Every structure is written in structure tokens, then in C-alpha cells.
Amino acid sequence: MTSEPDLQPTAPDGDLETATVPEDAALPETTTDPEDAAGLPGAGRRRGPLRAGERVQLTDSKGRLYTVLLTVDGYFQSQRGSFRHTELIGRPEGTVLTTATGHELLALRPLLSDYVLSMPRGAAVVYPKDAGQIVQMGDIFPGATVVEAGVGSGALSMSLLSAVGERGHLISVERREDFADIAIGNVESWFGGPHPAWEVRTGDLADVLPDAVEPGSVDRMVLDMLAPWENLAVAADALTPGGVLTAYVATTTQLSRFVEDLRATEQFTEPQAWESMVRTWHVQGLAVRPDHRMIGHTGFLVTTRRLAPGHVPPQRTRRPAKGAYPADGEWSPVDVGERAVSDKKIRRVRRDIHRRAEMEQTGMASQPGPTAQPGSPSQPSQPSAATPDEA
């Protein structure tokens, strides 16, 4: 489950007005790229001159984005001017059109990251920065057999399909028929038709997976759902030894539950957990600084690997902190990873504070006492918590 990030101001296709082109207008031919015919889904659609039936992203002088589906009889209309789609069809990407009102519009095919953020969605999507992390850290490789659940709106499916390629196999499981339908629509629209490596199954992962794959046959698995810990048993059965399991969760409570339940199975390696933050920059002349706004949170990622059947994780030499798993259910500062502060240190801090108060009242530097910091006899020592060697 993922949180919903802010979207770019991309107008959905449905907001755009179309009008019929006069009959005498020259209609350019639509072309079929030989690579599409050769079975490289989507590759041909992303090169060459702009064609009817393709999606184009327009950027106006204020940086506003409009997504347009080019049609031979289409007409684009906005506050920044209007034009017939035929004026763009057959032109190269990167064309800058000047409308009758003198406004300039830059036309480019959307990138996958643009498309994911502007496509219709049922469930929240995996944000592009996280999809990149999942493909890289989940080690999704060309030709791999990958299982993904849930499918949601199909955003991650597109990155996974691009990574496994047409010789791979992506089995995407979604418990909601309506979401699966939205995902299929989005993915097929992006690739220009069904992807030969994609199989969508509807139902609960725990029910569907044992019938969908042979035990130990799945190379990589990605779980993006509310309760991924409910599927650890089927994941362990399906994954090949050494196979990578990645989970994407929105909250720390989900993260904790998943990691602890995963450890308890003793079928996986010690998990790694992290999040990524991307800060965009404003770079103009001397004004070079981070943008004021950023997407502060999307989700947490966890990866782990399947052990060989019958093997348990090696004993960890670095044991969990004392009290990390409280026996009595009560939480102490140590339970949540805070360091214990010794009584001696507390006494010293209190002395420091009294001495500082004395100096503030008298305006006199205190005499270096037995606890003063070496090398700074005339300076009051700060409360001890600030000295790094004691932290």
C-alpha cells in the first residue's frame, strides 16, 4: 500500500476539446514500426515521427503540461491557443508549435514516469523513484520470472515488464477485478497492446499463487499490498533458492510487522529496509538551491532472499540491542533504540547546569572544577549531552 504523491498538473485527455478537421485537410499516413511487428512491445512507438493514435505531452510557456491523444481529426484547444492534430502528426518529437494566438507549445512523447503520473488510476501507484529502486534493488533481470501483487493501477507492472523484457514472465496478481481491469487498460495503452510476457490473475495471492507457479520456480517477487506478511508462506514456496523478495509498504507499523514476521519464518536472509527521498533543484544563474517543495514520503522498501529449503539463517553475531524485544510487553527507552544514560553522566550534566546558572547570575566565569572540559578553563562546559565523545 502506498501513499498518494502530488501530481504534476497534467490535464487528462478527457479535458481536451476536439473538433473535426475540414475534409480537404491533408491526412498523414499512420505508420507501423517494424520493431512492433517484430515483437518489441512499445519500442517502435517511442521512436520516429509522431503518429496518429499516439499520446503526446505539450508544455506551454508557463511549464503547464497537457496530454493529448493525437487523432487525424483531432483539434487541441486551450487558453494557450489551438491547433489541428494534423499539424503535429508526422513531425519529429521536440517540435515547438506556434499557435495562431502566438503561444508556443513544445510537443514530446511522455516518458514512462510522466505517463504513470497522468494515467487513470484506481489504487495509489508506485511512484517512479520507488519503481527504479524496486527494479534495481529487487534485481529484476531480463528473462526473469517475476510475481507481483497487487497490481493496483499497473504502474509498477510497466517497469517490471520493461525490465524482464519479452522473454521474461511477469505474473501479476490482483484481488479486485475492477483494479485489474484498470491496470490492463493502462499497461496495454502504454505498450500499444498486450505484452507477451504479462499474465494477470485475479484473486487473493495466497489462493492464486500455488496454482499459478511451480514451487521454487519464481526468481523475483514484489509485494505492494496492505498486509504482505500474510503471504510469506506462499512466497517462500514459490521463490527459487536465492530468489529476491521485495516489499513496499507505506507505514512504519507495516514495515515492522513484515520484517518481524519474515524473520520468524527462518526461511529468508536478514532483511534490508530503507526509504528514498528525492529533492529536486532549482538551477538558474546564481539561484541554485533545492526546490521549496518536495515529496516527503511515499513508502518503505524491504528486500530479502530465499534460503535453500531446510536451511535456517546463520546466527547473527551482532545481536539485537538488549530489550529490543521486551518480554513483558512494556516499552522502555532501550526498547526503542535509545541509549541508556549513566547516573554518572546525569550527575555531571546537573553540575554543569548549576555552574552555568551561577555564571549567568554573577557574570563571572566559573573556576574550572574537576568536571570542566580540558583545554577550555574559562568556558562553561555545555551540558554533557552535547560532547560527541560521550554520546
Binds ligand SAM by CB under 6 A, chosen from 7, 38, 226, 294 = 226
Distance CA 112, CA 159 (A): 8
Q: Which is nearer to ligand SAM, 176 or 356 (CB)?
A: 176
Q: Is 301 helix (H, G, I), strand (E, B) or coil?
A: strand
Contact 179, 202 (CB under 8 A): no
Q: Which of 114, 89, 10, 98 is nearest to 61 (CA)?
A: 98
CB of 328 to ligand SAM, least distance (A): 33
Q: Which is nearer to ligand SAM, 225 or 259 (CB)?
A: 225
Contact 182, 120 (CB under 8 A): yes
CB of 359 to ligand SAM, least distance (A): 58
Distance CA 299, CA 331 (A): 25
Please count the residues of this chain forming the interface with ligand SAM, following the rule CB under 6 A: 24
Q: Which is nearer to ligand SAM, 57 or 153 (CB)?
A: 153
The reply on whether position 219 binds ligand SAM by CB under 6 A is no
Q: Which residues pair with 183 in a beta bridge?
A: none
The DSSP code sequence of 28-68 is: PPP---HHHHTT-TTTGGGSSS--TT-EEEEE-TT--EEEE
At residue 107, φ and ψ (nearest 5 deg) are -115, 125
Contact 245, 306 (CB under 8 A): yes
Task: Give me the residue label for grid cell 529476491.
Answer: 244
Q: Which of 201, 270, 287 is nearest to 238 (CA)?
A: 201
* Piece of 51-59, 219-227, 265-273, 335-343 that binds ligand SAM (CB under 6 A): 219-227
Task: Give me the residue label for grid cell 526546490.
Answer: 291
Q: Which is nearer to ligand SAM, 254 or 384 (CB)?
A: 254
Q: Which is nearer to ligand SAM, 155 or 245 (CB)?
A: 155
Binding mask 149-188 for ligand SAM (x = CB under 6 A): xxxxxxxx----------------xxxx--x---------
Binds ligand SAM by CB under 6 A, chosen from 225, 232, 235, 372 = 225
CB of 120 to ligand SAM, least distance (A): 11
Amino acid identity, position 61: S
Stretch 22-81 residues interacting with ligand SAM (CB under 6 A): none
CB of 121 to ligand SAM, least distance (A): 7
At residue 66, φ and ψ (nearest 5 deg) are -135, 130
Binding mask 113-152 for ligand SAM (x = CB under 6 A): ----------xxxx----------------------xxxx
**Alpha-carbon torsion (185, 189, 193, 195), positive or negative:** negative
CB of 249 to ligand SAM, least distance (A): 10
CB of 212 to ligand SAM, least distance (A): 12
Give the total residue count for the chain. 391
CB of 131 to ligand SAM, least distance (A): 7
CB of 387 to ligand SAM, least distance (A): 46
CB of 175 to ligand SAM, least distance (A): 4
**Alpha-carbon torsion (223, 227, 232, 233), positive or negative:** negative
Specify the DSSP element, H or E, that contains 174: strand 169-174
Q: Which is nearer to ligand SAM, 68 or 161 (CB)?
A: 161
Q: Which is nearer to ligand SAM, 166 or 204 (CB)?
A: 204
At residue 269, φ and ψ (nearest 5 deg) are -70, 165
Q: Which is nearer to ligand SAM, 117 or 123 (CB)?
A: 123
Task: Give me the residue label for grid cell 510522466.
Answer: 114
Binds ligand SAM by CB under 6 A, chosen from 119, 170, 205, 213 = 205
Binds ligand SAM by CB under 6 A, chosen from 54, 114, 219, 224 = 224
Give the residues lining the site for ligand SAM (CB under 6 A): 1-2, 123-126, 149-156, 173-176, 179, 204-205, 224-226
